[in-house]
Amino acid sequence: MTQTHTLKIIGRNIQDKHTHYEAHSYIGPAQATIIIRGDIATDFQNKYQQPITQADAFQVTLELGRNDHRVKECQDPFKIGSHLIGSIDSIDSIVYNIK
């Protein structure tokens, strides 16, 4: 089961994973990994004229689900079952220039 969450992400905390980018946050006591696909990072750069990793801060709304509720092949074997994971699916779910 997934739930919708709105998170604030700082660009300098985003890690380049070569095929995608990742940001990390907390939802209460649970850790969360936010996956940023390469095409979303490119759309961000085209729209805001700067790399997503250099953004001061932006807000994103996305669905997060538990690692152990994902399809077996998509589970991260290095993360506990309660770890939350979600992907930014559209540039439209990002609100930039928040304070």
Q: Closest Cα to residue 60, out of 85, 30, 89?
A: 89
Asked whether the predicted pLDDT for residue 87 surpasses 90, the reply is: yes
pLDDT computed for residue 98 by the predictor: 56
pLDDT in tens, 10-45: 999 999 999 999 999 999 999 999 999 999 999 999
**CATH code at 54?**
2.40.50
Domain containing 46 equals 2-96
Q: In total, how many domains does the chain have? A: 1
**Predicted model pTM:** 0.89
Residue 78's H or E segment, with its range, is none
How crowded is residue 57: how many other Cβ atoms within 10 Å of its Cβ?
A: 15
Average pLDDT over the chain, rounded to whole? Answer: 93
pLDDT in tens, 38-79: 999 999 999 999 999 999 999 999 999 999 999 999 999 999
pLDDT computed for residue 90 by the predictor: 95
